Amino acid sequence: MKKEDQEYFDAMFDMFNSDGWKAFVGEIQKGTTAIANDLAFKAEATSSDLHFLRGKIQAFASVTGFPNAIENQYEAVKAEERKEAEDADL
């Protein structure tokens, strides 16, 4: 893996393990719960309101899923490196 790629992944993993990231994700989860409550108890919600809240939920899901996306990307890079190493040995 290139040095700059390794540094990028290291920085991401450090961030995901930080207290700040954990607090941020906690706040996002609270926001998601608040939106779910709005959806459940807001009988007069318009279609526009529902689309707006749906967009918020999708944005929150992207943020909370970001660590998994980075982990998957990291594993894909490592798998490609292993395959290249195996091919070079042939």
61-81 per-position pLDDT tens digit: 999 999 999 999 999 999 999
What is the share, in percent, of the chain residues with pLDDT greater than 90?
A: 58
The mean pLDDT value for 7-27 works out to 96
Per-residue model confidence (pLDDT) at position 1: 86
Residue type (1 letter), 46: T
- State the Cα torsion 6-10-12-16 to the nearest 10°: 150
49-71 as b/e, with b when 16 or more CB fall inside 10 Å?
A: eeeebeeeeeebeeeeeebeebe
Average pLDDT, the chain: 90
CB 29 within 8 A of CB 80: no
Q: How many domains does the chain have?
A: 1
Q: Which domain holds residue 11?
A: 3-89
pLDDT at 41 over 90: no
Helices (H) and strands (E) in the chain, counts: 3, 0
